[in-house]
Structure 1
Amino acid sequence: MKKQNNQMRLKYFLISLSLILAVSSFAQKEEVVIDKIIAKVDDYIILKSELERSYLDFLSQGQMRGSNAKCQILQQLVVNKMLMAQSEIDSIFVADAEVNNNLDRRMSVMAQQFGGEEAIEKAYGKSLEQIRSEIFDNIKEQMTIQRMQSELTSSMKVTPSEVKKFFKNIPQDSLPYFSTEVSIAQIVKDAKAGTSQKDKVRNLMLQIRSRIESGESFADLAKQYSQDPGSAANGGQLGFYSRGELAPEYEAAALSMKPGGISMPVETQFGFHLIQLQEKRGNTYRSRHILISPQPNQNDYKRTEQYLDSLRTVIINDSITFQAAAKEYSDDQLTSSAGGFFQDETGALRIPAEQLDPNVFFTIDTMKIGNITKPIRFQKEDGSYAFRLIYYKNKVAPHQANLKDDYQKIAAATLAQKKNAKISQWFEKARGNVFIEIDPEYDYCNLSN
């Protein structure tokens, strides 16, 4: 019970940094709901199933039931639709390429969780393309809302006095009790294929190109050989993209051809492509491709390990700090900008020990504070292998939240509350400028104009 109370206090304390209500993952089975439109915001609609899914997610986080909670959730859904309407007025948009990149990351994580793409398809009885198609619009809407929120609140900051006032207003019995936290940083180097591996892939691509020119189907060969999870099952089709949305090398090759032409192997950061330009429309173009990524061999792995070992020696000899080396040399984009440090959801450079990757957790369990490991080989979420150095900077014992040890977390919560208030003010001001119709079933929420 004590642990549950602490968790509830933590949720009270760490106000969500995002104003978008989380919806149930598409990896979960939906509850059966007799659907109907329960709200209209200009040209946008809210379905009863949307409200029920969001409410179930709210309850799954340990929150209390109640009609007021449903009203708050419905209001947030209305705010989201208003933000979508405002984004059209302000010309705030998210390119399809950005959505597809987001989708690729989600599908990659799902593949790891399910044990492969075929396992995903088997679990849902749908192809990957069907799954992607079904969630594409939802993700695009979420990303657009986030961008619109950023437009409204990106310049907001908090002062130390505001942080102190926020903290003092938290009831003493609602202050969370933090478990053991650690400051851990890493420098990651991806093992990249060398010349010999690239030559093998280039030769294979030339063979595939010859087969296509001899009459074999581009689509069939894409399904057989392409390693692009987003397009392989669809015969390599990428659809229409605008200039600047795809890798520069890919775009240059595609736009240099006439429709129907097939490129020579083109190298980008993703691997080698065979590209077929299908159509040009103004500043957009449609193409399909076959992607094969060279895989490192043992010599490539050894070279990467030796590189990191040399970098470790330079750091230990005080020629460069670990943080500076991480920013300059690490291949991990999530941690490099923070000097290699893992961050929690508030941006603090300390995280609960139990949230660490098990491999990292057991590694630091044998380390002394201040030590840096030798290069460690590990498998990334996408299945590839890399090496990393781990720096164990600090450990903070379990404690109740306080301004001295947890200022960054408290400041993030203060800012989130301030942004919430800003969005609420915007909603009250903007609601009179849009058409809002709420189903009579929810009149008690007082959301109509």
Structure 2
Amino acid sequence: MIKQIRYSYSIALLLFLSANTCLWAQESDTSSLASAETPKKEERPSGQVLDKIIAKVDNHIILESDLQKAYLEAVSQSQQGFEAPSRCDVFESLLINKLMVAKSEIDSVLVSEAEVLIQTDQRFSMVLSQFGGDEESLVEIYGKTADQLKAEMQDAIKEQMIVQKMQGKIAEDLTVSPADVRKFFEGIPKDSLPFFSAEVSVGQIVKKPEVSKTQKDKVISQMMEIKKKILDGEEDFASMARKYSQDPGSAAQGGDLGFFRRGELAPEYEATSFALKPGEISDPVESMFGFHMIQLLERRGNTFNTRHILIKPEPSEEDVVRAEKYLDSLRKEILADKISFAKAAKEHSDDRETSDNGGFFTDPNSGSNRLTLRTLEDPVLYFTIDTMKVGDVTVPMRYDDVDQRSGRSEPSVRILFYKERFSAHRANLKDDYEKLKQATRRKKEEDILSNWFVLAKEEVFIDIDPQYDRCEVLQEK
């Protein structure tokens, strides 16, 4: 059976953001692996061991370092209570990914370059935020420029997006019924039932301070001064973008975004861009990301190339206090049973990731509202819950919310609700239905993927290093 290992985006980062990775192998060599590599541990004059190609799928390769990083990440992220994957499982998964990419070229399953660029910018911003937005620190650690790192990220992210699209196409008709879940559960030997640690159900209602007109006017005034300096010839647009723009994805490139089609950028941004003449600079225009000052570089039919300076107004202390008062009033209504926490979250929370789920955090693996405390990455959140009792709703608390698009921290306010605690136990249908449903879905996906793999492998060239013959990934099981 083919085992499909699900990775978070951080695996993609690990595959290329490694100070120790040496990618000396050349993809252009399409000969067999036996002739594609020199002895198993070829060394450079300095004594540095070269990386090794362990599999080829058409023109796509898998390196020994790819497998090692993916294996370590898969083990660290294996779902609680279930067996961690073996190296062969992970190798098989990487091979399937390469097969999907090769097959996508045959089947014309594509992702747009614009989609890839947007994802790359967002994920690079998240990485950069871990270094306090300091590109020099990133370059110093990895020995590559920001552009080089983004180029490597772009290739990995494109592959990841293609694989996701292929997976969706292959398993598009998959359904999981309660009968399927029961059958899967009953097929697990009683002495092999997974053991789950204590879990909690916790929700939040978030209020992002509404920025006052005064704060917005300050940004508009600042941007108009920047525009005047550019038009007067005192400064050029690119240098001002590098100095002032808060878009980490484009600031280093002088604000240049490259070509996009209609419908791919924020409506306000797009409308302003199409109203400009080549070379013309707009007044500040507001979108959900902040205020933009846009320069149209070129327009080709329904595509356009622009650069911009983005500045996001910061809420004042008064703005934050208003958010605290708003949540305090809402908390009193919840405690007085005038409104349920879930209803209040859906109607009033500014965090869309949790509000659609009644405000409750979900386990990234199972999708369940029950999660172990170790799943919570925010240490403040962890220790706050550790001091609460079941049924408690906290007073409004300030915290820094990291914007997933820009990687920037934004001051926010939230209240937390500790709904329920579940003791450690062996898996059962009543308490663990959602986890078992996800496991059932993965099993059915594996079966579908296995059948697809048997047929698809005949359409591409696959060559595997003899060292990995033991994994038997090309054999029907």
Smaller-chain TM-score bracket: 0.7 to 0.9
Where does residue 107 of structure 1 map in the other structure? 124
The yes-or-no answer on 1:30 pairing with 2:20 is: yes
The yes-or-no answer on 1:330 pairing with 2:356 is: no
Where does residue 255 of structure 2 map in the other structure? 236
Distance apart, 1:290 and its partner CA: 0.5
The yes-or-no answer on 1:447 pairing with 2:477 is: no
Where does residue 177 of structure 1 map in the other structure? 195
User: In structure 2, what residue type is equivalent to 1:420?
Assistant: E
CA distance in 2, matches of 1:43, 1:448: 22
Where does residue 368 of structure 2 map in the other structure? 348
Deviation digits for residues 8-58 of structure 1 (CA, Å, limit 9, x no counterpart): xxxxxx985569994535444335563465544344344454345445555
Describe the SS at the equivalent of 1:386. Answer: strand
Residues 17 and 413, structure 1, Cα contact 8 Å, conserved in 2: no
The yes-or-no answer on 1:380 pairing with 2:407 is: no
Residues 219 and 311, structure 2, Cα contact 8 Å, conserved in 1: yes
Correspondence 1:39-438 to 2 at 5 A:
39-55=55-71, 57=73, 72-118=89-135, 119-215=137-233, 216-344=235-363, 345-356=365-376, 357-381=378-402, 382-438=408-464
Describe the SS at the equivalent of 1:404. Answer: coil
Residues 367 and 392, structure 1, Cα contact 8 Å, conserved in 2: yes
Instruction: Say which is worse superposed, 370-379 or 420-429, in terms of deviation.
Output: 370-379
Instruction: Say which is worse superposed, 370-379 or 295-304, in terms of deviation.
Output: 370-379
**1:166 to 1:364, Cα distance in 2 relative to 1, 3 A:** same
Describe the SS at the equivalent of 2:204. Answer: strand
Which protein is richer in helix relative to its size? 1
Deviation digits for residues 61-92 of structure 1 (CA, Å, limit 9, x no counterpart): 79xxxxx9555444433321232233345543
Describe the SS at the equivalent of 1:81. Answer: helix
Residues 16 and 416, structure 1, Cα contact 8 Å, conserved in 2: no
CA distance in 2, matches of 1:21, 1:154: 25
Describe the SS at the equivalent of 1:288. Answer: strand
Describe the SS at the equivalent of 2:417. Answer: strand
Distance apart, 1:186 and its partner CA: 0.6
User: In structure 1, what residue type is equivalent to 2:389?
Assistant: K
Instruction: Say which is worse superposed, 156-165 or 69-78, in terms of deviation.
Output: 69-78
Describe the SS at the equivalent of 1:338. Answer: coil
Gaps of 5+ in 1: 1-13, 63-67
User: In structure 2, what residue type is equivalent to 1:408?
Assistant: E
User: In structure 1, what residue type is equivalent to 2:388?
Assistant: M
Q: TM-score, normalised by structure 2?
A: 0.82
Distance apart, 1:420 and its partner CA: 1.2
CA distance in 2, matches of 1:289, 1:313: 44
CA distance in 1, matches of 2:133, 2:8: 33
CA distance in 2, matches of 1:192, 1:26: 39
CA distance in 2, matches of 1:57, 1:25: 10
Residues 41 and 82, structure 1, Cα contact 8 Å, conserved in 2: yes
Sequence identity (%): 49
User: In structure 2, what residue type is equivalent to 1:447?
Assistant: L
Residues 17 and 416, structure 1, Cα contact 8 Å, conserved in 2: no
The number of residues matched between the two structures is 432
User: In structure 2, what residue type is equivalent to 1:371?
Assistant: D
Tell me how large the CA RMSD over aligned residues is.
3.0
CA distance in 1, matches of 2:240, 2:305: 19
CA distance in 2, matches of 1:217, 1:246: 24
Distance apart, 1:389 and its partner CA: 1.4
Residues 21 and 77, structure 1, Cα contact 8 Å, conserved in 2: no
Residues 192 and 295, structure 1, Cα contact 8 Å, conserved in 2: no
CA distance in 1, matches of 2:278, 2:445: 49
**1:402 to 1:426, Cα distance in 2 relative to 1, 3 A:** same
CA distance in 2, matches of 1:355, 1:73: 23
User: In structure 2, what residue type is equivalent to 1:82?
Assistant: L
**1:155 to 1:220, Cα distance in 2 relative to 1, 3 A:** same
User: In structure 1, what residue type is equivalent to 2:50?
Assistant: I
Distance apart, 1:137 and its partner CA: 1.1
Describe the SS at the equivalent of 1:289. Answer: strand
Describe the SS at the equivalent of 1:161. Answer: helix
User: In structure 1, what residue type is equivalent to 2:398?
Assistant: R
Residues 39 and 45, structure 1, Cα contact 8 Å, conserved in 2: yes
Residues 211 and 316, structure 2, Cα contact 8 Å, conserved in 1: yes
Distance apart, 1:146 and its partner CA: 1.0
CA distance in 2, matches of 1:19, 1:308: 33
Where does residue 25 of structure 2 map in the other structure? none
CA distance in 2, matches of 1:38, 1:373: 53
Residues 178 and 400, structure 1, Cα contact 8 Å, conserved in 2: yes
Distance apart, 1:442 and its partner CA: 5.1
Deviation digits for residues 204-241 of structure 1 (CA, Å, limit 9, x no counterpart): 11111111111121111111111111111111111111
Where does residue 3 of structure 1 map in the other structure? none
User: In structure 2, what residue type is equivalent to 1:375?
Assistant: P
Instruction: Say which is worse superposed, 15-24 or 295-304, in terms of deviation.
Output: 15-24
Describe the SS at the equivalent of 1:273. Answer: strand
**1:360 to 1:437, Cα distance in 2 relative to 1, 3 A:** closer
Instruction: Say which is worse superposed, 348-357 or 212-221, in terms of deviation.
Output: 348-357
**1:244 to 1:117, Cα distance in 2 relative to 1, 3 A:** same
**1:313 to 1:19, Cα distance in 2 relative to 1, 3 A:** closer
Runs of 4 or more above 6 Å deviation: 59-62
CA distance in 2, matches of 1:417, 1:374: 43
Distance apart, 1:353 and its partner CA: 2.1
